[in-house]
Amino acid sequence: MRSVLFELFGIPIHSYGPMMVVGFGLGLWRLVRTGKRRKIAPERMYDLALVVLLSGVIGARLVFIALNPDTESFREFFAVWNGGLSFHGGVLFALVGGLVYTHLAKLSFWECADLVAPSVAIGYAFTRIGCFLNGCCYGAPTSLPWGVRFHEHGIITPPSHPTQIYAALASLAIFMLLMRLERLNRPSGFVFVSYLGLYSVYRFLIEFLRKGYSAQVWFGGITQAQGASIALFLLCVVGLVFVYSKQRA
**Tell me, what's the pLDDT at 248?**
63
**Tell me, what's the pLDDT at 60?**
87
Average pLDDT over residues 98-102: 95
Per-residue pLDDT at 8 exceeds 80: no
Per-residue pLDDT at 74 exceeds 80: no
**Tell me, what's the pLDDT at 5?**
73
pLDDT in tens, 195-212: 999 999 999 999 999 998
Residue 191 confidence class, pLDDT cut points 50, 70, 90: very high
**Tell me, what's the pLDDT at 180?**
93
Share of the chain above pLDDT 90, in %: 59
Least confident of 18-32, 92-106, 214-228: 214-228
Task: Output the CA angle 94-100-102, nearest 5 degrees.
Answer: 95
**Tell me, what's the pLDDT at 31?**
95
Chain mean pLDDT for the chain: 88
Boundaries of every domain in the chain: 4-186
**Tell me, what's the pLDDT at 77?**
73
**Tell me, what's the pLDDT at 213?**
87
**CB 125, CB 23: distance < 8 Å:** yes
62-76, 112-126, 153-167: range with highest mean pLDDT: 112-126
- Which residue from 119, 115, 125, 120 is spatially nearest to 91, judged by alpha carbons? 120
**Tell me, what's the pLDDT at 229?**
94
pLDDT in tens, 127-143: 999 889 888 889 999 99
For residue 226, which phi and psi values (nearest 5 degrees)? Answer: -70, -40
CA distance 190 to 30: 19
CA distance 188 to 178: 13
**Tell me, what's the pLDDT at 219?**
82
**Tell me, what's the pLDDT at 106?**
93
Per-residue pLDDT at 160 exceeds 70: yes
**Tell me, what's the pLDDT at 117?**
96
Residue 144: which region, alpha, beta or left (left: phi > 0; alpha: psi -120 to 50)?
beta
